[in-house]
A and B are shown apart, each in its own frame.
Chain A
């Protein structure tokens, strides 16, 4: 399939290293944030979410950090694997469940074996 993110910033990491993907969000009223992974030809796949009353949330191999002061999100992936190669988007919304999402620009993650 075709690549989704031809003009997006790219992060290249070695297999086994940790990855950090950053995102600046736009609306200070947003109170719920989600990271999605999108592989070529597929829809966005949920990775992890965080509510605005939290600064950090951990999942399996992934951690999301939220800095509301500077409206910044980051996604940390531990021990990056070739299967992690994809485009990563952050999304924000108001009302922490069931509302429309506003997506950031996306980052391409390439994992080198």
Chain B
């Protein structure tokens, strides 16, 4: 499978705990994005990387959220001191920056976070 992989698929955590999610993009894609999706809504942009550089962060990304892409390959998204409002599906996507196939912007299956 050469698509975008996310791990874990599901995570249940107690309020106040820290959680970390991992995303492995398509290998030749240099851009990596994180989105959050709550029930009944479309995905909302959180942040993106070009190679290892984090180029933009949404105001949705509070200080409790941090994302890294240390070697320009996989990325991690950490949420510290989780709150019930953090419960959502966290989606990762990757793409190329140069023009190319229209279907190059590819999403993973997401990590479903439930904070209890």
Contact = CB atoms under 8 A, between A and B. Distances in A.
Contacts of A45: 107
Interface in B63-116: 91, 93, 95-100, 102-110, 112
B91 A43 contact: yes
Nearest to B50: A98
A98 B42 contact: no
Q: Helix, strand, loop or mixed for chain A's interface?
A: loop
Contact count band on A: 20 to 34
Interface in A57-81: none
B43 A101 contact: yes
B93 to A, nearest CB: 8
Contacts of A102: 45
Contacts of B54: none
B12 to A, nearest CB: 14
Interface of A: 2, 4-8, 34, 36, 41-46, 48-49, 89, 91, 96-98, 100-106
Smallest CB-CB A-B distances: 10 pairs: A103-B42, A43-B107, A49-B102, A98-B97, A46-B103, A100-B45, A7-B40, A43-B109, A44-B107, A89-B42
